[in-house]
Structure 1
Amino acid sequence: MPDIIETIVYRFEELSETARDKARAWYREGGFDDDWYDAVYEDFQRIAEILGLDLKTHAVRLMGGGTRQAPCIWFRGFWSQGDGACFETFYAYRKGAPGRIREYAPQDSELHRIADALQAVQRRNFYQLRAEASRRGHYYHEYCMGISVERDSPTYQDMTADAEEGVIEALRDLARWLYRQLEREYDYLSSDDVVDEAIIANGYTFTEAGQRFG
């Protein structure tokens, strides 16, 4: 005959502080939603559009067997050397970008600086610069972006001497900015207060030692 084993389970708020730490560790390892970064991605897509970036997309398979198009944005973090974020995009001048980015993100001086840098280098090239960024290699950081810059001049004028470097550095700075937003979001979602709230809201139960039950 099967044995019946009784186990006393505890709600999170009933655990000792040591057991709570174990419960939090369990949640951080496996309790995060797969799409925790979606809000950051959505914000970045809006910012990219304002700055003149047309993000490339790739097919993502859905649970039902279909596919959807997702932006070519990747990251890895947040603890190892070489972690970072990158993206694939086409870039062309977008009129009014510095003013529009200040309306969208009035407190973000780094975004203002990036928009101003792109505006300045475009001005020196009569707003004819175009660029393409593609991911290369097996890592996910700003230097994994292969970026080509050209001037779409009807009279075949060359770029100014600083044009290529200016656009490349601005796009890489934007990748660095994105990584910082992802890191900030992760730190917030994995903070004790937010983790505690999520565990309690989901009604998870644990053993006295803080091991997830069931």
Structure 2
Amino acid sequence: MSEVIEITVYRLEELSDAARDKARAWYREGGFDDDWYDAVYEDFQRVTEILGLNLKTRTVRLMGGGTQQEPCIWFRGFWSQGDGACFETFYAYRKGAPRRIREYAPQGTELHRIADALQVIQRRNFYQLRADVRHHGHYYHEYCMAISVQRDSPSWQDLTADAEEVVIEALRDLARWLYRQLEREYDYLSSDEVVDEAIIANGYTFTEAGRRFG
């Protein structure tokens, strides 16, 4: 025989401090939107365009059966050794990149440094340097990017001695910068204040102990 069991449920603001912490932990484990990092990706794509990078894309199958192209950007974080971010791209000289990146990100000193480094090494090589970046291995960090650098010289001039190293390090620094943006966004979205706002806005309820009810 069925029976009716009554249970009292609570809003987040009605919970004790300990129960509230448990409710927040539930949200952090599974309540994040799948696309929480979209804004970071969009910003990164704009940055790469300014710097002369043409991100490669991959085909992703959608829930409804269709497909769409997404940039080849990956990350893993944020607490384990080997965590990081990486991407696949083609790189070539982009005129005015140092000026344009300062206009786009006035406070982005690391981006300014990367743009300046690429500008200097391109100038030494008559703006003929190109790079191909692809992911390899099972992890996602800057050292999982296989980077080949070439000089597209009509007279077959070789790269200057430091060209390969400078381009590789600049692109890896860009991957490190991306990871820091992702980490900063995650820390913000998982802060108590933002988590509380999300739980309250969605009207979630909990048991007295802080377990999700509805």
| Structures share fold, TM-score greater than 0.5 | yes
The answer on 1:52 being equivalent to 2:72 is no
Q: Secondary structure at the match of 1:178?
A: helix
Mapped partners of 1:108, 1:211: distance in 2: 42
Mapped partners of 1:3, 1:119: distance in 2: 74
User: Partner residue of 2:154?
Assistant: 154
User: Partner residue of 1:125?
Assistant: 125
Mapped partners of 1:32, 1:3: distance in 2: 35
User: Partner residue of 1:166?
Assistant: 166
User: Partner residue of 2:203?
Assistant: 203
Q: Within 5 A, what are the aligned runs for 1:50-129?
A: 50-129=50-129
Provide the identity percentage: 85
The one-character-per-residue Cα deviations of 1:71-90 (angstroms, maximum 9, x if unpaired) are 00000000000000000000
Superposition deviation, residue 45 in structure 1: 0.2
Mapped partners of 2:17, 2:42: distance in 1: 37
User: Partner residue of 2:11?
Assistant: 11
Superposition deviation, residue 41 in structure 1: 0.2
Q: Secondary structure at the match of 1:90?
A: strand
The one-character-per-residue Cα deviations of 1:94-147 (angstroms, maximum 9, x if unpaired) are 000000000000011000000000000000000000000000000000000000
The one-character-per-residue Cα deviations of 1:145-169 (angstroms, maximum 9, x if unpaired) are 0000000000000000000000000
Mapped partners of 2:36, 2:61: distance in 1: 18
Q: Secondary structure at the match of 1:47?
A: helix
Mapped partners of 2:32, 2:104: distance in 1: 29
Amino acid paired to 2:28: R
Superposition deviation, residue 200 in structure 1: 0.3
Mapped partners of 1:25, 1:60: distance in 2: 31
Superposition deviation, residue 61 in structure 1: 1.1
Mapped partners of 1:131, 1:11: distance in 2: 54
TM-score by length of 1: 0.99
Mapped partners of 2:37, 2:61: distance in 1: 18
User: Partner residue of 1:179?
Assistant: 179
Runs of 4+ in structure 1 deviating by more than 3 angstroms, as ranges, are none
User: Partner residue of 2:35?
Assistant: 35
Q: Secondary structure at the match of 2:36?
A: coil
The one-character-per-residue Cα deviations of 1:148-195 (angstroms, maximum 9, x if unpaired) are 000000000000000000000000000000000000000000000000
5+ residue gaps, structure 2 = none
The one-character-per-residue Cα deviations of 1:33-87 (angstroms, maximum 9, x if unpaired) are 0000000000000000000000000011111100000000000000000000000
TM-score by length of 2: 0.99
Task: State the aligned residue count.
Answer: 214
5+ residue gaps, structure 1 = none
Mapped partners of 2:170, 2:108: distance in 1: 15
The answer on 1:2 being equivalent to 2:2 is yes
